[in-house]
Structure 1
């Protein structure tokens, strides 16, 4: 028991150190390099250099913070989707929930004329309305998947994946249809957004995401013990006095809320919800109360590192972070598919 606690503490400390290093690299490196001393001077207003203030407070810090929030949201939703469906290949992107939320947000952008210039955070009301529409789209995608993946009133895992792929393709086509109707500048913004990008991060998007991520993550942490019970047979779960369908619906709605908040800011970033829980299980086992914090740390680390690679590998040009994660995630998904 003592060795297990020691190992768990070691894993947490190691991940925190790696996250700190990734944070440091992201903050100090880019097209405009800044030393640690200059960062501290700027953060504590000991330096009046406006160029440093602009780079740190308007570009890099918002981008890192949004990476952290998206890492939390996608990794937690991935962990719960895998627990609810009892399928280790479940992921918000693979199941089509990302695409459902993205299609609804794309329609929202089109009908309210959400211009690319509004992505700077100036249109406060429209930005704060986006997650609601994303939630509706994500919920619709989840509902379709749940209806068509059932076989004799039980969830068929093979049907689940196939339905998710179909839903993903369908909603992606809807997103493409509406993006093609936009003018040139907004189409360019929509195309980059769909690929999964956080280059336009700003404080307004952070304020929009925070309530969704904090409230829903805390709620799900209080419910995370249910995932241990969900691994049992349904008759055993019912005998424990757990209303299985009701609890699954609550957890699923919470996951859709997290995913919608992430998709609003960064578009369709896949595979974080797939990889983070699996890596965490390899590190600390399958008990979900301990697994959730490690999953969050792994997800945050993956997002910060991927975004750092996206902004530096082809500098001064930038890749969408979703592309970097897909390059890592697709081989990992094939490996899991082969293993299962």
Structure 2
């Protein structure tokens, strides 16, 4: 890697991490109840803690920030992987139908099981993410099955099947949610539009192991993603076991997306925008693109969540709506650029 490229990569990575830290600071100190930096530091370090400050930071603000950071990082990395495998710059984790599959599972849980296990501690807190994760993986397995063609995984067929599955499962989610009582319908609607308002430490525990295990596997395959950009036949000629590598990378990205969607709902466009911005900043080598995608995704979701909960206060928007307001125009711009 050229020295200048290395310097640019580190400059961009550190700048995005610095911007993320600033966003975390702003989100921690500002809201309906403002806190000073001293209040935050004392509370975090346990120095003369005040119960009100501990409640605000540890029960409300910090879990939301951590969930937003983890979800943004995961969706950014997964988006880069999916675009790399399909060699389609308009691909996004939501396009594969995984979000819709997790959504159906969550709505089924709310409709049939939520009241039965309410108040059962850890089981109650982890059941919804678990249902979402299982739903995402089951949908991915189905899409994977229909995308298999001529002894291999067809990337273009994968996207088409994913779009069809997402549309059908989205309709099923709507049908089930309309059968709910008004309170559960409101919760389901908020979740399906993408929201982390109900974030807690148990949700963090439920998704962190998957990210810790799967993200390093993807990072170790960055050179393989580079070779995929040369075309599948060229990659085979260079000694890459293309089907095996595609399977590993796709399963890792599916696991990450399912885990993220299971605690945050249907947050779209992060996996679309982060890779494009990262490639414009640091080039196309995935050893640089993947870390920058993760930090940009963190920044995007943290800032969007802050906007969602404060700009229209006391009304709170879903973070998915805020990101969509940014993402839809960007997607249209990419369509025109690609067409050109």
Same fold (TM over 0.5): yes
2-side partners of 1:116 and 1:12: how far apart? 43
Partner residue, 1:207 = 205
Contact 1:116–1:186 under 8 Å retained in 2: no
Partner residue, 2:310 = 312
Partner residue, 1:270 = 268
Partner residue, 1:235 = 233
Deviations 1:144-170 (A, max 9, x none): 54566678777374x655443322221
> Deviation of residue 142 (structure 1)?
3.5
2-side partners of 1:245 and 1:109: how far apart? 38
2-side partners of 1:56 and 1:136: how far apart? 31
Contact 1:72–1:213 under 8 Å retained in 2: no
Q: Which moved more, 1:124-133 or 1:240-249?
A: 124-133
Q: How is 1:34-53 mapped onto 2 (pairs within 5 angstroms)?
A: 34-53=35-54
Deviations 1:37-62 (A, max 9, x none): 11111112223321111000100000
Q: Which moved more, 1:64-73 or 1:175-184?
A: 175-184
Partner residue, 1:217 = 215
Change (3 A) 1:242 1:65: same
1-side partners of 2:54 and 2:39: how far apart? 10
**2:96 match: secondary structure:** coil
Q: Which moved more, 1:15-24 or 1:107-116?
A: 107-116
Between the two proteins, the alignment pairs up a number of residues equal to 336
Q: Which moved more, 1:232-241 or 1:242-251?
A: 232-241
Contact 2:129–2:263 under 8 Å retained in 1: no
Structure 1 residue 74 corresponds to structure 2 residue 97? no
Structure 1 residue 333 corresponds to structure 2 residue 334? no
Contact 2:270–2:323 under 8 Å retained in 1: yes
2-side partners of 1:114 and 1:284: how far apart? 49
Structure 1 residue 247 corresponds to structure 2 residue 210? no
Contact 2:86–2:155 under 8 Å retained in 1: no
Partner residue, 2:291 = 293
Partner residue, 2:224 = 226
**1:93 match: secondary structure:** helix
Partner residue, 1:89 = 90
**1:89 match: secondary structure:** coil
Unaligned runs of at least 5 residues, structure 1: none
RMSD value, Cα = 2.3
Change (3 A) 1:32 1:205: same
Structure 1 residue 55 corresponds to structure 2 residue 56? yes
**2:95 match: secondary structure:** coil
Contact 1:195–1:320 under 8 Å retained in 2: yes
Contact 1:115–1:186 under 8 Å retained in 2: no
2-side partners of 1:154 and 1:21: how far apart? 42
1-side partners of 2:41 and 2:248: how far apart? 43
| Runs of 4+ that moved beyond 4 A | 114-118, 129-132, 143-154, 159-162
TM-score (norm 2): 0.91
